[in-house]
A and B are shown apart, each in its own frame.
Chain A
Amino acid sequence: MITYSGTPQLPSDDKRWKVVEATARRHGREPHALIETLHTVQEYFGYLDDTALKFVAATLRLPLSLVYGAATFYHFFTLKPKGKHTCVVCTGTACYIKGAPALLSAIEKKFGVKPGETTPDNELSVLTARCLGSCGLAPVAVVDGAVLGKVSPEATVARIEKGIGHDR
């Protein structure tokens, strides 16, 4: 049961909750702080789980349905944790006509994951971006934060394998 009075208890003594709490406080716990607070959760935890959504609802004194509604409306928020490694393929117009579909099918063939999915061993998440704004370098993929411009399907797969291989 969520109560709408006072300051809710932090879900755990994980220090990150204090940062989340601070964002809400900075905006005076007003309803308009919702998206900013969700951004903070995602930045520090990587995704939004039930605990986080309930906590944000309580701390901003908003109905959980509204928080869930916003969290699922915006593509930037994810309710699922990502794998250890990520590969984001840009599917903007320039990348699309310069071979983004080929990148995705090469990744799917090699690792068996489609966009939005994570491998069963939790090693790799494959995501797509609407446009990364690096159209001059199309096609673009971002593997573990490193931007690969004018990249071939082979090079993308090789780069992902290298990343996974490093852990082993």
Chain B
Amino acid sequence: MTVEELRNIAETEREEQRKYEKHVCVCIAAGCLSSGSDLLKAELEKEVDAAGLKDKVKVKGVGCMGLCSAGPLVSVEPEGKMHGNIAPEQAKGIVASLGAGEGPNPCPSDVPFFERQKKIVLENSGKIDPERIEDYIAHDGYFALVQAISEMTPADVVREITRSGLRGRGGAGFPTGLKWSTVAKTGEQKKYVICNADEGDPGAFMDRAVLESDPHRVIEGMAIAAYAVGAQKGYIYVRAEYPLAVKHLKTAIRQAERLGVLGNSICGSSFSFQIDIRLGAGAFVCGEETALIASIEGKRGTPRPRPPYPAEAGLWGCPTLINNVETFANIAPIVRNGAEWFAAIGTEKSKGTKVFALAGRVNNTGLIEVPMGVTLREIVQEIGGGIPGGKKYKAVQTGGPSGGCIPEEYLDLPVDYESLKKIGSIMGSGGMIVMDETSCMVDVAKYFMEFCKSESCGKCIPCRAGTEQMHSILTRITEGEGTENDLEVLRELCDLLRNTSLCGLGQSAPSPVATTMQYFGDEYQAHIEGRCAAGVCQIAKQEQEVEA
């Protein structure tokens, strides 16, 4: 495969697409699919056929368009006219409005939800057919890989990624270039590249959307990484709960192999790279890199102490590069557009964009991609469209069970790795849940602690026993049986788990408790006095009072 050949494929595909005057794009990613977008797509095809427009209009299944709360979404290209909440019966109306007219349920695309976003990772999402490699190539796909192999040395690629300032999107924000160069420097012959797609945070679905909507982007990123660090074999460790993502990945790998951008002697060079899929089996701890490696090896997913880091001794003892889905999705654009282009986006220490799964008590829920450094207020109020029903904002939860709850006073905080860390939360993989006054923060802390307790692998004692103790104390408090002493013990346990647990799960498990105690201490106090202001907790004393 050469650049010329890629160009030919891209041109043929574009020509093919130009034959149609209009494309009716239907989101067939998981969110819209669960509201029946597959039926809608079939109905649209039928209506187009019935109207005799088969040669002029193409109905196309595409990935996530972002605004999941208005699903199923349909967009008519090239105008970009969108329709939301479309039932299969409304297909006729959409086809009728192709010539002129508004059509059913117009969904304006010139609103802050769309205009305030900047798309790098999601640039093709909702535009291309995820099951066709030609469509990806027509959108500049695989040019970066071919360019890297034919024009750059592996060291050049590592340098470019380092200069871009890209940091791991899995949550901790480790500099990607540094990780790559560590693996590249090891003298071993056999190396691995692993894509961590074990998105276990409740309330996060960014990786799933990327894999479902644009699987080739992740494969291309992995192949470039393998070339840069000298790996021959790659694994994508993906949740078994994401069948559609697995299906699209399998198709994409097969297509890439057939085209020769994956497999033996890629682009006629001496570089060979194979990718295999490994299914996760529902263990949150497998998001931790050493646990994930154990799981690929077929064992129980328990972490081990580091060092040695996987970059030196990972899968089967070989140097292993592990990056998250979103990190890999950023690689091709960086190679294509250059490190300077990427480094110009974002803040001084956090470059580029971040994809968030915006959900909870907010009007526009869905998938968003924003430049680093935007404020939480912009995300919640403008992109998210504020809190529904005139309710009052209470907190934003970032980072899932490893993150914290951010109160109103920090809403103007820029979203980047350092700022979020400073106030006790983390960037996390990108789950962002908005809560209003109907949520009880003690209950939320209990919810996350229940999660960590049941997901703790049991290998180290602080995490295994500590999460259990913290959960039972929090349960007691939410039942109105808590005491002042309980708060003191909770604080001690937060400190203990943070400092003595083996892996990230235990070390960060106290974060939801610690942040809610710090910013919503009055709610804990109220529970001890027998009141739950949000009315979520079933406190016996309170009920008696009401009855009396």
A interface with B by C-beta (< 8 Å)? 30-36, 38-39, 66, 69-70, 73-77, 91-94, 96-98, 129-138, 140, 147, 149
Contact = CB atoms under 8 A, between A and B. Distances in A.
A159 B390 CA distance: 31
A89 to B, nearest CB: 13
Given A131-B200, A134-B205, 5 more contacts: A35-B278, A73-B301, A76-B241, A76-B282, A136-B69
A70 B295 CA distance: 9
Contact of A94 (B203, B240, B281, B282): B203
Interface centre among A75, A96, A132, A147 (most CB of B within 10 A): A96
Contact of A133 (B30, B69, B365, B451): B30
B241 A137 contact: no
A76 B457 CA distance: 15
A140 B360 contact: no
Contacts of A69: 300
B281 A133 contact: no
Contact of A97 (B31, B284, B297, B444): B444
A29 to B, nearest CB: 11
B112 interface: no
B535 to A, nearest CB: 13
Contact of B281 (A32, A38, A129): A38
16 contacts: A32-B296, A32-B297, A35-B295, A66-B299, A74-B282, A76-B240, A77-B281, A94-B365, A97-B361, A97-B435, A130-B451, A131-B202, A134-B31, A137-B68, A140-B34, A147-B33
Interface string B272-311: 0000001111111000000000011111110000000000
A74 B69 contact: no
Contact of B301 (A74, A93, A129, A149): A74
Contact of A31 (B33, B278, B297): B297
B359 interface: yes
Contact of A93 (B203, B280, B295): B203
Given A35-B279, A92-B202, A130-B282, A137 B34 contact: yes
Nearest to A93: B203
B193 interface: no
Q: Interface extent on B, as a size class?
A: 35 or more
Given A39-B240, A93-B447, A97-B433, A135 B357 contact: yes
B130 to A, nearest CB: 16
Given A73-B300, A93-B447, A98-B360, A136 B281 contact: no
B462 interface: no
B359 A138 contact: yes
A135 B284 contact: no
A39 B201 CA distance: 22
A70 B439 CA distance: 37
Contacts of A91: 202
Interface in B24-79: 30-31, 33-35, 67-69, 71
Given A74-B283, A75-B283, A97-B360, A134 B298 contact: no
B366 A136 contact: yes
Contacts of B438: 97
A104 to B, nearest CB: 13
Contacts of B204: 131, 133, 135
B83 interface: no
Nearest to B357: A135
Contacts of B69: 136-137
Contacts of A35: 278-279, 281, 295, 298
B431 interface: yes
Contacts of A147: 33-35
A92 B34 contact: no
B114 interface: no
B208 interface: yes
Given A131-B201, A133-B205, A137-B34, A94 B360 contact: yes
Contacts of A36: 278-279, 298
Interface centre among A38, A74, A136 (most CB of B within 10 A): A136
A131 B360 CA distance: 13
Nearest to A72: B300
A149 B72 CA distance: 12
Given A93-B397, A97-B361, A74 B281 contact: yes
Nearest to A90: B202
Nearest to B206: A133
Nearest to B240: A76
Interface string B173-214: 000000000000000000000000001111111001000000
A136 B35 CA distance: 11
Interface centre among B203, B278, B457 (most CB of A within 10 A): B203
B433 A70 contact: no
B400 interface: yes
B324 to A, nearest CB: 15
B195 to A, nearest CB: 17
B271 interface: no
B298 A132 contact: no
A17 B341 CA distance: 54
B345 to A, nearest CB: 26
Nearest to B435: A97
A135 B202 CA distance: 9
Nearest to B450: A91
Nearest to A136: B68
A74 B505 CA distance: 16
A149 B447 CA distance: 21
A92 B279 CA distance: 20
Contacts of B280: 76
B242 interface: yes
A140 B280 CA distance: 22
Interface centre among A98, A129, A131 (most CB of B within 10 A): A131
Contact of B203 (A66, A135, A137): A135
B426 to A, nearest CB: 15
B213 to A, nearest CB: 13
A91 B446 CA distance: 13
B281 A75 contact: yes
A39 B281 contact: yes
A93 B283 contact: no
B300 A70 contact: yes
Contacts of B242: 133
A168 to B, nearest CB: 27
